[in-house]
Chains A and B, each alone.
Chain A
Amino acid sequence: MSIEIKELKYTYSPGSPFAHKALDGINLSIPEGQVTAIIGQTGSGKSTLVQHLNGLLKVQEGSIDIAGYHLEPQMKLKEIKQLRKKVGLVFQFPEYQLFEETIGKDIAFGPINFGDTPEMAMEKAKTILPKVGLDESLIERSPFDLSGGQKRRVAIAGILVQDPEILVLDEPAAGLDPQGAEEMMNLFMSLNKEQGKTIILVSHDMEHVLQYCDNVIVLENGKVKTFCDTKTFFKHPEWMKEIGINPPGIVTLKQKLMENGFVIDPEIFDEEELAVAIESQVKSNG
């Protein structure tokens, strides 16, 4: 079941002098089982939109259908907890949400809140650790003894352990070194490929968007500016320029070569294929 967002509007501190319109009529149908990127400049409404998806922000105007729930204004959703279980939201720098004495207890915190017994929750915590690339033996250690990257893995494990259908990630790789970032992204991709989880990724990193995502949503001033599949999006470097984002290296190179008279298949987004195409162009002219 896809996520259906209709005419969603949101204003912060409405009616006060500080009122600020963050979302201005969002219409989206985000497909199930795919990886969808949300991009846009700071203040474009990304985090406001994302916080609607698990009910952290209540719908003011419009509606959302997600994970079997229908969200609309003035409704008292008793099952909001269940919604939050089904839609896992990983915030930016999630390592700042750790608080328990042991890693195991911290990961088990969510499941216990969602109704598991402590024993069941701890059992789940044990099985989730290897999935985020941490050793099971760490379970009794304090999360505060870990390195920054490992802390983040524990925090992410704390969301994954709820086994959400939909996983919303806000800049999950920010601040990690390139290797750490890649490992992190691979973890999410495997959840998508192997377990069919729907993933929504808020990111500034166009290399990640190109490499991992199926669709791209561009937000600007609280409106959907573009919504298309990733390849279509990256065939239009000018769209990225308009929102002040540098295209990935391969897109820039392709564009520059095309401007200089090279004929390159717009479908190429792979380094190896591009190299072959360039080779044929440079040599065939002889």
Chain B
Amino acid sequence: MDAIEVNNLTFSYDSETDVLKDISLRIPKGSYTTIIGHNGSGKSTIAKVLIGLLEPQAGTVKILGRELNEENLYDLRSHIGIVFQNPDNQFIGSTVADDIAFGLENRQVPQEDMQAIIEESAAKVGMNDYLNAEPTNLSGGQKQRVAIAGILAVKPDVIVFDESTSMLDPQGKASINKQIRELNKNKDRTIISITHDMDEVAQSEYVIVLENGQVMMEGTPQEIFAHQDELEKMGLALPFALKISNRLKDMGVLDHGLLSLDEVVNSLCQLKSKN
């Protein structure tokens, strides 16, 4: 069973221009999937449709095999969570603990169970020392980690990251990217990350490329990055490791493109010692 199954989805904000045009896609359960495309390609719209914030004009969305509709929206939302872009505008509680509690309160989790869940979720994102901290005293990265903890507290099967690192400084970005990989380590959660960060894309398992509201390409990062020209036309740059290894491949030094710098260095060292 797929975590997400989208069939013939069409969406428009103003019923004139379609932002999403007859999209069909599947996201395997337990996978780490990235969705890329330049601004205005429909990436963020699809995220909002997946969690039922926007209702499509046509087509269906299935979450873990169940079709999303008005009646089961509330139930299905405990299976899917989303971390948005702006760290400030999704921090609802006045302290870290209150914010993590928000989802639990909505799910009517008994009060006596909350403290343990809050502490456990905060610990998973390394924020357990900050339970009483207020949002003004937290960095953007810390706020995003609290957002993740708030979602983990309700134990969802699917977590969507909608450009969650794009407003963070490098440290915040690195810590959230690490956190995302950590969340997917045991393959018991599906991660869908909408991103511009090509290094993150290189580390994911499955990539969906959107352009003008349509799925342009999908496949493993290797498969996607093989289409260098098309990607560049869409304004998407390749990760540096791949650019340089492709160049070295053209020069006849390497056999194929590589996705991480460590792989590049290893291959080159082997070549060097062989000669």
Q: Which residue of A lies closest to B242 (CB)?
A: A249
Whether A177 contacts B39 by the Cβ 8 Å rule is yes
Number of interface residues of B (CB under 8 A): 34
**Do the beta carbons of B39 and A180 come within 8 Å of each other?**
yes
The 8 Å CB contact of B261, one of A244, A249, A278, is A249
Q: How far is the CB of A169 from chain B (nearest CB, A)?
A: 16
Q: Are A275's CB and B247's CB within 8 A?
A: yes
Contacts of B271 in A (CB 8 A): 282
Q: Is the CB of A250 within 8 A of B240?
A: yes
Cβ of B203 under 8 Å from chain A: no
Stretch of B60-68, B103-111, B124-132, B165-173 contacting A (4+ beta carbons < 8 Å): B165-173
Q: A177-B38, A179-B235, A180-B38 are in contact. Are A246 and B244 (CB under 8 A)?
A: no
Let me know if A177 and B196 touch, CB within 8 A.
Answer: yes
For A286, the closest partner residue in chain B by CB is: B275
Q: Which residue of A lies closest to B265 (CB)?
A: A256
**Residues of A close to B171: CB separation below 8 A:** 41-42, 244
Q: Which residue among A177, A250, A271 has the maximum number of chain B CB atoms within 10 Å of its CB?
A: A177
Whether a CB of chain B sits under 8 angstroms from the CB of A17 is no
Asked if B59 is at the interface (CB within 8 A of a chain A CB), the reply is: no
* Contact of A15 with B by CB under 8 A: no
Q: Judge if B23 is at the interface, Cβ distance under 8 Å.
A: no
Min CB–CB distance B139 → chain A (angstroms)? 6
Which of A250, A256, A275 interacts with B248 by CB under 8 Å?
A275
Are A148 and B39 in contact, with the CB atoms below 8 A?
Answer: yes
In the assembled complex, the Cα of A206 lies from the Cα of B171 at a distance in Å of 13
Is A178 close to B, CB under 8 A? yes
- B236 — which chain A residues lie within 8 A by C-beta? 177-179
Q: Is A262 engaged at the interface, CB distance under 8 Å to the other chain? A: yes
Contact of A253 among B196, B237, B261 (CB under 8 A): B261
Give B178-214 interface residues, CB cut-off 8 Å to A.
196, 198
Interface residues of A in 174-205 (CB under 8 A from B): 174-180, 204
A-B pairs, top 9 by smallest CB distance, nearest first, are: A179-B235, A249-B240, A285-B275, A286-B275, A177-B38, A275-B247, A256-B265, A282-B271, A178-B237
B-side residues, CB < 8 A to A, are 38-40, 85, 139, 166-167, 169-171, 174, 196, 198, 235-237, 239-241, 243-244, 247-248, 251, 253, 261-262, 264-265, 268-269, 271-272, 275
Q: A148-B39, A249-B261, A282-B271 are in contact. List 4 more A-B contacts (CB 8 A).
A: A178-B196, A180-B38, A245-B170, A261-B272
